[in-house]
Copies of this chain bind each other. A is one copy, B any other.
Amino acid sequence: MAKVNPRTLSGFMELLPAQQMKMERMMQLLRESYALYGFTPLDTPVIESAEVLLAKGGGETEKQIYRFQKGDSDLALRFDLTVPLAKYVAAHCAELSFPFRRYQIGKVYRGERAQRGRFREFYQADIDVIGDGKLDILNEAEIPAVIYSTFTKLGLTKFRIRVNNRKLLNGFYRMNGMQEKAGEIMRTVDKLDKIGPEKVKLLLIDEVKMLPCKAENVLDFMAIRGTNAEVLEALERYRGMDEVFDQGLEELNTVTKYLQDFGVPEENFAVDLTIARGLDYYTGTVYETEMTEHPEIGSVCSGGRYDNLAEYYTDRQLPGVGISIGLTRLFYVLGEQGLLSDEIVTAPCDALVLPMTEELGFAVSAATALRRAGVRTQLYAEKKKFKAKMSYADKIGVPFAVFIGEDEVKEGLLSVKDMQTGEQVKLAPDEAAALISARVAEKNAGSVIRE
Contact = CB atoms under 8 A, between A and B. Distances in A.
Interface of A: 1, 3-9, 12-17, 20-21, 23-24, 35-49, 51-52, 55, 66, 68-71, 73, 75, 86-88, 90-92, 95-97, 99, 101-102, 107, 109, 111, 120-121, 131, 134-136, 138-139, 141-142, 145, 149, 257-258, 261-263, 310-315, 347-349, 352, 360-362, 364-365, 368, 371-372, 374-383, 392, 395-396
A314 to B, nearest CB: 6
Q: Could you say how many copies of this chain the assembly holds?
A: 2
A392 B97 contact: yes
A134 B382 CA distance: 8
Nearest to A73: B9
A291 to B, nearest CB: 24
Contact of A42 (B20, B52, B257): B20
Contact of A311 (B1, B12, B131): B1
Q: Which of A48, A138, A312 has the most CB atoms of chain B within a 10 A radius of its CB?
A: A138
A348 B6 contact: no
Q: Which of A52, A69, A121 has the most CB atoms of chain B within a 10 A radius of its CB?
A: A52
B348 A135 contact: no
A447 to B, nearest CB: 17
A135 B384 CA distance: 11
Nearest to A368: B263
Contact of A8 (B5, B38, B48): B48
A135 B38 CA distance: 46
A137 to B, nearest CB: 8
A12 B47 contact: yes
B68 A68 contact: yes
A258 B139 CA distance: 56
A361 B372 CA distance: 46
A51 B4 contact: yes
B38 A376 contact: yes
A349 B38 contact: yes
Given A3-B314, A310-B6, A378-B38, A360 B138 contact: yes
A78 to B, nearest CB: 11
Nearest to A43: B20
Given A6-B91, A66-B68, A312-B4, A38 B381 contact: no
B371 A87 contact: no
A9 B45 contact: yes
A375 B97 CA distance: 21
A101 B3 contact: no
Contacts of A315: 3
A36 B97 contact: no
Given A139-B381, A261-B365, A91 B7 contact: yes
A377 B149 CA distance: 14
A379 B6 contact: no
24 contacts: A3-B312, A4-B312, A6-B313, A8-B87, A8-B91, A9-B45, A12-B47, A16-B95, A36-B374, A40-B347, A47-B66, A66-B68, A66-B75, A68-B69, A99-B382, A101-B348, A134-B383, A136-B381, A138-B364, A138-B379, A141-B364, A258-B360, A261-B361, A262-B364
Given A5-B313, A101-B348, A107-B46, A88 B14 contact: yes
A250 to B, nearest CB: 15
> Which 10 A/B pairs are nearest by Cβ-Cβ distance?
A38-B378, A68-B68, A40-B348, A38-B349, A138-B381, A261-B364, A6-B313, A6-B90, A12-B45, A136-B381
Contacts of A381: 136, 138-139
A14 B71 CA distance: 22
